Amino acid sequence: MTSRERVQKALAHEKPDKIPIDFGGHHSSGIMALAYRDLRKKLGLAEKPILVYDFIQQLALIEIDVLDFVQGDVVGLEHLFAEEDWYWKDWELPDGTPCKIPAFIEVKRSEEGWVVLGDEGQPICVQRPGCLYFEQCYFPLLDNPDEEFTRLGYYLNQITWFRLGSPPFPLSVEEQKEYARKLRASTDRAIYATFGGNLLETAQFAFRMDQFFTEIALHPLRMHRFLDRLVEHHLANLEAFLDIYGPYVDIIGFGDDLGMQTGPQISPAMYREFFQPRHALLWQTVKKKYPHLKVALHTCGSITRLLPLLIEAGLDIVQPVQIAAKEMEPEVLKRDFGKDIVFWGGGCDTQNVLPFGTPQEVREHTRRNVAVFAPGGGYVFQQVHNIMAGVPPENIIAMFEEVNAFSYR
Average of pLDDT values for 184-210? 97
> Does residue 166 carry a pLDDT above 80?
no
pLDDT value of position 48? 86
3 state DSSP class of 245: helix
If pLDDT is split at 50, 70 and 90, which confidence band does 168 have? low
> Does residue 190 carry a pLDDT above 90?
yes
Average of pLDDT values for 394-400? 98
CATH ID of 3-30+71-76+143-405, from 3.10.20.600, 3.20.20.210, 3.40.190.10, 3.30.70.270 = 3.20.20.210
pLDDT value of position 408? 76
pLDDT value of position 409? 66
pLDDT value of position 3? 98
Interval 380-394: pLDDT, tens: 999 999 999 999 999
Beta strand 108-109 with 114-117 is antiparallel
> Does residue 165 carry a pLDDT above 90?
no
Interval 260-276: pLDDT, tens: 999 999 999 999 999 99
- CA angle 237–243–246, rounded 5-degree value: 105
Average of pLDDT values for 94-113? 93
3 state DSSP class of 358: coil
How far, in Å, CA of 60 to CA of 243, rounded?
A: 28
> Does residue 56 carry a pLDDT above 70?
yes
Pair 4, 16: CB distance under 8 Å: no
Pair 136, 205: CB distance under 8 Å: yes
| One-letter amino acid for residue 304 of the chain | T
- Residue partners of 64: CB distance under 8 A and separation at least 6: none
How far, in Å, CA of 321 to CA of 258, rounded?
A: 12
> Does residue 365 carry a pLDDT above 70?
yes
Give the whole-number percent of the chain exceeding pLDDT 90: 95
